[in-house]
Structure 1
Amino acid sequence: MDQGVTAGPKGTAPADGGALLVVGDVVTDVVARYGGPLASGTDTAAAIRMVPGGAGANVACWAAHWGCRDVRLVGRVGTDAAAWHERELVASGVRPRLVVDPEAPTGTVICLVDARAAAERTFLTDSGASLRLAAEDWSDTWLDGVARLHLSGYLLFSEPGRALVSLLVASARACGVPVSLDPASAGFLGGLGVERFLALAEQVDVLLPSRDEACLLTGVPDPADAAAELSRRVPLVVAKQGADGALVARAGAVCARVPAVPAVPHDTTGAGDAFTGAFLATLLSGAGPEAAAAQGCRAGARAVARVGGRPPAAG
């Protein structure tokens, strides 16, 4: 599936610096927001919605929402929900190229959102078809006209995905296209192994970890020290700090501390994806990393005020 679309509503000035290609996961989110303690063995009242999600897909949608005129997404879905996901992506201003898996279902994530704890969320993840995205699904022609390539860290949690990442980074470097990577999941990083991840991450130009991911990857408890340490391995590190804003680090030092935008959290699902999408769209408009991080914080504040990980669709 590959659709030409118009861009969705804009968060900033148009980003005319070329296309953004995102490669990553497309999943179905089941968001359950509850306001009392979970009652084991019986019922807990909750507001439940099914919405499109996936870290890769969310980033692409937020980048389009934030002004990037040409956002493309490569992902893998099952036959069960392929048409729905395609429609939702197109409605958000993204050009999807979805590989339809004839065997595995679309990935599904159950998002448990605790309304009492700043809308903090816990994920139960069945990655389904998204973990089967592989090198044989890729075509180098998909980099034509691309100014930036962004990779979802969920690609690294399967052997086919890791092989694809190596291929993508090599292809991008051959074309002079900078590559960004979001580690995606502190929980899954522990299973992959820190050194294994860092060996792959050292090939990219921009790393966008969360606070927990940065600390896990370095073994350093202080987020600023962790971001600085990671920037000895990756040229630019932008560490997302949630309500504490963001840190920008280069060459072993934090060079900017970007404040958060105040928000009343309703659902924190996808807030980091919103930051990343707006950050990349702003970089493509010609802004520097500090200004891009400030726009990322704006997008994150908008995201937590909504249920689900996507911006409102165009229209």
Structure 2
Amino acid sequence: MSDTGRDGPADRPGPADRAGPRDGALLVVGDVVTDVVARHSGPLAPGTDTVAAVRTVPGGAGANVACWAVYEGCADVRLLGRVGRDSAAWHERELTAGGVRPLLVTDPKAPTGTVICLVDGGASAERTFLTDSGASLRLAPEDWSPDLLDGVARLHLSGYLFFSAPSRALVSVVLESARTRGVPVSLDPASAGFLTALGVDRFLGLCSGVDVLLPSRDEACLLTGLSDPAEAAAELSRRFPLVVAKLGSDGALVARSGSVRAHVPAARATPRDTTGAGDAFTGAFLASLLAGSGPGEAARAGCAAGAKAVERVGGRPPTRAPGKESEESAEIEEWEEKESSGAADAWAGR
């Protein structure tokens, strides 16, 4: 097993890694939500107040992946998602500013999904999600057209689509369209908690036709019943042509045909918020594959993007729209100042 992540003969691009023209588009089908990020410097205090720095930002695993793919060099990224009327215009503006072509369906009844992200302000910056999926999981077969694959070289599915009946039906239709067109499909399982509720066997049965699986450590172990992530990745690669297991600070594993082919080390970072780190990895990984890289090199790009992500608040990269990035930088500086200005003392003195 390689420790460098460089592509040896067994790890050079294959059918699951690179297909279609290099300048073809990436189509992401997935969730668009509003994230309310609360970064607290001390333990949560049940029954009373806990001081936190709170910020509302655009999010959603599918939307985050799309934005990171653009940031990492993919010139044509499209996103199919469903949002509520309450914030449809805002999300469309944010995606457009991030270089993504939004293909958003406005739900007439449900509001945009909302996720409360509780971020530990300690060294780990670990996050806990409280999720109201809202309109995001109401994406359904009637929102799909095979024409959406015109010019598309790769299709990526957010695993959150597997956790409601309408979006599961959509997945089936999308996978059939991709098979007909010969477009390779990648999938991020998205949530160990939701996977447990759905059932592992049911989830795996719905994944028929997926070419690249990108699970986290916990998801890989859950899907196989194995405690060792390397063994889990190898086992999953007997079912999926390519498996890339994301291990956070331990890097990533690239597996195929029942064995781990590369262990890519993590890039160094000082975590502030781990929200969206896996999405950043996935977006950069797919952008690298589209640029012609092999899976080891693409995983290295993914690790580098994940490191950038954990040093930012929220799950998106900096936007490259004119004038927008400076606004974001000012907001983050204000956030950091709030965290370090003795907010707890000010609160206590009210």
Same fold, judged at TM 0.5 (above): yes
Please tell me whether residue 23 in structure 1 is matched to residue 35 in structure 2.
no
Normalising by structure 1, what TM-score?
0.95
Q: Which runs of 5+ in 1 are unaligned?
A: 1-14
Show CA shifts across 1:113-138 (max 9, x none): 00125100000000000010000011
- Specify which of 154, 163, 169 is matched with residue 169 of structure 2: 163
**In structure 2, C-alpha distance between the alignment counterparts of 1:115 and 1:95, rounded to whole Å:** 34
Q: CA deviation at 1:221?
A: 0.1
**In structure 2, C-alpha distance between the alignment counterparts of 1:167 and 1:121, rounded to whole Å:** 33
Aligned twin of 1:39: 45
Aligned twin of 1:243: 249
Contact conserved, 1:211 with 1:223, CA < 8 A, in 2? yes
Larger mean Cα displacement after TM superposition, 141-150 or 201-210: 201-210
Aligned twin of 2:145: 139
Contact conserved, 1:17 with 1:286, CA < 8 A, in 2? no
Contact conserved, 1:16 with 1:68, CA < 8 A, in 2? no
Show CA shifts across 1:130-175 (max 9, x none): 0100000111111000000000000000011111111111100100
Aligned twin of 1:287: 293
Show CA shifts across 1:41-95 (max 9, x none): 1100000000000000000000000000000000000000000000000000000
- Specify which of 79, 90, 95 is matched with residue 89 of structure 1: 95
**In structure 2, C-alpha distance between the alignment counterparts of 1:262 and 1:274, rounded to whole Å:** 15
Please tell me whether residue 267 in structure 1 is matched to residue 273 in structure 2.
yes
Please tell me whether residue 187 in structure 1 is matched to residue 183 in structure 2.
no
Question: What secondary structure, in the 3-state scheme, does the structure 2 residue paired with 1:209 have?
Answer: coil
Larger mean Cα displacement after TM superposition, 171-180 or 113-122: 113-122
Q: CA deviation at 1:16?
A: 4.5
**In structure 2, C-alpha distance between the alignment counterparts of 1:198 and 1:58, rounded to whole Å:** 24
Please give the residue correspondences for 1:145-224 in structure 2 after superposition, counting only pairs within 5 Å: 145-224=151-230
Contact conserved, 2:30 with 2:80, CA < 8 A, in 1? yes
**In structure 1, C-alpha distance between the alignment counterparts of 2:262 and 2:174, rounded to whole Å:** 30
Contact conserved, 1:246 with 1:260, CA < 8 A, in 2? yes
**In structure 2, C-alpha distance between the alignment counterparts of 1:65 and 1:16, rounded to whole Å:** 17
Contact conserved, 2:123 with 2:271, CA < 8 A, in 1? no
Q: CA deviation at 1:37?
A: 1.0
Question: What secondary structure, in the 3-state scheme, does the structure 1 residue paired with 2:303 have?
Answer: helix
**In structure 1, C-alpha distance between the alignment counterparts of 2:123 and 2:257, rounded to whole Å:** 36
Question: What secondary structure, in the 3-state scheme, does the structure 2 residue paired with 1:190 have?
Answer: helix
**In structure 2, C-alpha distance between the alignment counterparts of 1:93 and 1:17, rounded to whole Å:** 16
Q: CA deviation at 1:201?
A: 2.0
- Specify which of 71, 77, 89 is matched with residue 77 of structure 2: 71
Structure 1 runs (4+) greater than 2 angstroms displaced: none
Show CA shifts across 1:218-239 (max 9, x none): 0000000000000000000000
Aligned twin of 1:6: none
Contact conserved, 2:27 with 2:156, CA < 8 A, in 1? yes
**In structure 2, C-alpha distance between the alignment counterparts of 1:109 and 1:50, rounded to whole Å:** 10
Normalising by structure 2, what TM-score?
0.85
Question: What secondary structure, in the 3-state scheme, does the structure 2 residue paired with 1:56 have?
Answer: helix
Question: What secondary structure, in the 3-state scheme, does the structure 1 residue paired with 2:292 have?
Answer: coil
Q: CA deviation at 1:202?
A: 3.3
Partner amino acid for 1:216?
A: L
**In structure 1, C-alpha distance between the alignment counterparts of 2:189 and 2:181, rounded to whole Å:** 23
Question: What secondary structure, in the 3-state scheme, does the structure 2 residue paired with 1:41 have?
Answer: coil
Q: CA deviation at 1:200?
A: 1.7
Aligned twin of 1:80: 86
State the aligned residue count.
301
**In structure 2, C-alpha distance between the alignment counterparts of 1:131 and 1:71, rounded to whole Å:** 21
RMSD between aligned residues? 0.9
Question: What secondary structure, in the 3-state scheme, does the structure 2 residue paired with 1:150 have?
Answer: strand
**In structure 1, C-alpha distance between the alignment counterparts of 2:134 and 2:222, rounded to whole Å:** 26
Which has the higher Rg, Structure 1 or Structure 2? 2
Question: What secondary structure, in the 3-state scheme, does the structure 1 residue paired with 2:89 have?
Answer: helix
